Structure 1
Amino acid sequence: MCEDKGKQNWVFCDGDLPPAGEKEPFGHEALMVTNLNSEQAILTIDILFEDKEPSKGITMLLKEERVICIRLDKPFGDQKYLIPRGQYSLVLHSSIPVVAVFGRLDVRQANLSYYSVHGYAY
């Protein structure tokens, strides 16, 4: 389909899971990854922390010409990894070029906000 679209490495620096809140919609962060290619992507995620050693090698598959929305407040990947509360950065590696964006839903105020952040890609 679009073999040359996207990048194989993405960095999202501002991870910090917001409180879930009392009712829907629950506060969360998510990583959305789109594979525009005609072959599946092998995704590997590393989580870097401010005050402890990184968690590396969280893996999952993304089928060809598909999107995946990874809720970061829930266990994810083949390892069912759960990100602890607090500051972190997320590094995404893919076997083929993909497009990624990071989003956060913050419900701490009555006028809740959802925003997305485009990461650094190389």
Structure 2
Amino acid sequence: MDIGKKVWIIPDGFLPMESTGAFNSHEAICVLNTSSETAEIELTIYFEDRAPMRKINARCLGERTNHIRLDKIIDVEGNKIPVGVPYAIKVESSQNIVVQHSRMDTTQSEMALMTTIAY
């Protein structure tokens, strides 16, 4: 069975400027590749007031998962996603994949975890 899609959208992204406690606030794109072939993944990050960040590459081996931490990725020019700025994400893959978006918010001592399947 062919599971997933080749293009996914995550409209709500945000990396807070501050964290509290031992954990850093972060977001991740959780990828599941059920095919036997490696999925070559390209991310595009969109903003409200600036040009997109393009050509952020990742991969997910066949029949594996990959948790892509958005606070650690860089584009081809060496830029990271800026903190304190809303953004959206387009995930494009060479193979059908399933994409989940997770956010760990540690801006308060009562940490929160949010997760949802991308569109």
TM-score scaled to structure 1, two decimals?
0.87
The change in CA–CA distance for 1:79 and 1:94 in structure 2 (over 3 A counts) is: farther
Out of 24-33 and 74-83, give the one that drifted further. Answer: 74-83
Measure, in 2, the Cα distance between the counterparts of 1:61 and 1:77: 14
Per the alignment, residue 51 of structure 1 pairs with 49
Where structure 2 has 5 or more consecutive residues not aligned to the other structure, the ranges are none
Out of 101-110 and 89-98, give the one that drifted further. Answer: 101-110
Per the alignment, residue 101 of structure 1 pairs with 100
How far residue 18 of structure 1 moved from its aligned partner, in angstroms, is: 2.1
Measure, in 2, the Cα distance between the counterparts of 1:71 and 1:80: 16
How far residue 23 of structure 1 moved from its aligned partner, in angstroms, is: 3.2
Alignment coverage as a number of residue pairs? 118
Where structure 1 has 5 or more consecutive residues not aligned to the other structure, the ranges are none
SS at 1:109 equivalent: coil
The change in CA–CA distance for 1:70 and 1:43 in structure 2 (over 3 A counts) is: same
How far residue 81 of structure 1 moved from its aligned partner, in angstroms, is: 4.7
Structure 1 residue ranges, 4+ long, deviating more than 2 angstroms after superposition: 75-81
Out of 57-66 and 19-28, give the one that drifted further. Answer: 19-28
How far residue 55 of structure 1 moved from its aligned partner, in angstroms, is: 1.1
Contact 1:6 1:99 in 2 (8 A): yes
How far residue 76 of structure 1 moved from its aligned partner, in angstroms, is: 4.7
TM-score scaled to structure 2, two decimals?
0.89
Contact 1:19 1:28 in 2 (8 A): no
How far residue 106 of structure 1 moved from its aligned partner, in angstroms, is: 0.7
Measure, in 1, the Cα distance between the counterparts of 2:37 and 2:73: 26
Measure, in 2, the Cα distance between the counterparts of 1:20 and 1:35: 33
Per the alignment, residue 64 of structure 1 pairs with 62
Measure, in 1, the Cα distance between the counterparts of 2:65 and 2:77: 20
The change in CA–CA distance for 1:59 and 1:28 in structure 2 (over 3 A counts) is: same
Q: One-letter code of the match for 2:113?
A: Y
Give the alignment partner of residue 73 of structure 1, picking from 66, 71, 74. 71
Written as runs of structure 1 = structure 2, the 5 A alignment for 1:106-121 is 106-120=105-119
